[in-house]
Structure 1
Amino acid sequence: MLPGDILLVSGEGKLSSSLVTVQKVIYPHASSSHVELSLGDGVFIHSTGNKGVHLTLLIDEDIACKSRWRVIRHRSITDMCLATENLQKAAMFFYAQDYNKAFMGSGNESSSFCSELVAKAYARAEIEIIGGKAPSKVTPAHFDKEADNLEDWVDVTEEYQAILADMKKNLFPYRLAANTLSAVMTRRKAHEPYRQQIIERLEGGSVESQELARTMREMLSGRELKYWHEKDR
């Protein structure tokens, strides 16, 4: 189970069925209505219409789609390494974005639909997928095609079936990890406007205050984890 693995989900509702049907123009064998990106240890980041970009657990997705899912891994990723670390950071960069309702539109910097989010994360990590297609033009059907052909990807569904079995036996540590990570990222986003207000006030003050403001901006821009909503990144 590695960061960057992609969960392909086949939903059962009318909306999911409609999404799959529409995508058959792109790939006749399309079967997935939703895709998500692994952050590791059974935690996934994804974008939905009601919550935007947020975290979820494999066990919750398994229940929601009645076990109709599979997972693929890019062949360039074979173990925990710089690439997986970069993918984690790249995916988390988009946390708390809105859901992009303009499916296959021109894209923007503040919202993402599910497959667009995955493609954006790979692009930010500088790993080319789907022939370098623009993220806003990438659909779940494109990943279905990759999962069926398995040229650039490997099917690792069995690995996730194993972690799902462990989750069912001992869910607490997984839930705690996901909730803690979500809380930390949500809190950082909530505090960002106040940080900027403080810095801007300092920038309008004395020479000493302006120097302190510069130091604060340098410190903030040097943070290892960066997010789309932050000014200093």
Structure 2
Amino acid sequence: MAAGAKTFRDNLALLLRARFPVLYVESYEEARVLAEIVSVASDQSLMRTVRPVYVWSATRGFVGPQGAAVPKTTDPRQAVEWVMRQESAGVFVMLDLHAYLGDDRRPADPHLVRLLRDVVTALQAGAIGRVLILIAPLLRIPGELEKDVTLVDFPLPAEEEIRAVLDGMIVSNSEGRIRIEVDSVGRERLAKAALGLTLNEATNAFARAMVDDGVLADED
């Protein structure tokens, strides 16, 4: 089941307000997605009630908005069970769960799949706004969950975002050994050339252009 084609912020705010229980964002850009989720969840112009964001990884378990780790949540089963026990509104983001949801060579963890089906029921039935969001670079949704998980499209960075990264790199290198010989037209051309890349890929491309010959010029 896929959400409609609005902006990511608008789509996410709508799905949070409508209390869709489980969302899935396929993206390599964890940091960008997380930043948008936190921004939307805390924006009173979009949300009737702002919600704290908890983030889970396989290495740390759930970590709260203030950076405190939640004990005994590194195991994904325990993490999902913890989400179901929460009695206040919140957005619960899980980063690495796709690794436990199977692929062409191995099946998904059946206990975890059952827990995810249970969490759908629990979050829908509760009187408070809670949502579980999975962020993963790969789309892995077991067949049992296909009708319960809503896919949310997250676009690659726009030209303005790429230009901001480029401008920041130029400022940070302007006093160093890199010669900056690119004007505003050249910056626009470089930003357009990086469309279709992630921010990390664009950053690496600009960095390579700078260190290749020690100059960032219009012809790069």
Is the helix fraction higher in 1 or 2?
Answer: 1
What is the TM-score with the length of structure 1 in the denominator?
0.24
What is the TM-score with the length of structure 2 in the denominator?
0.25
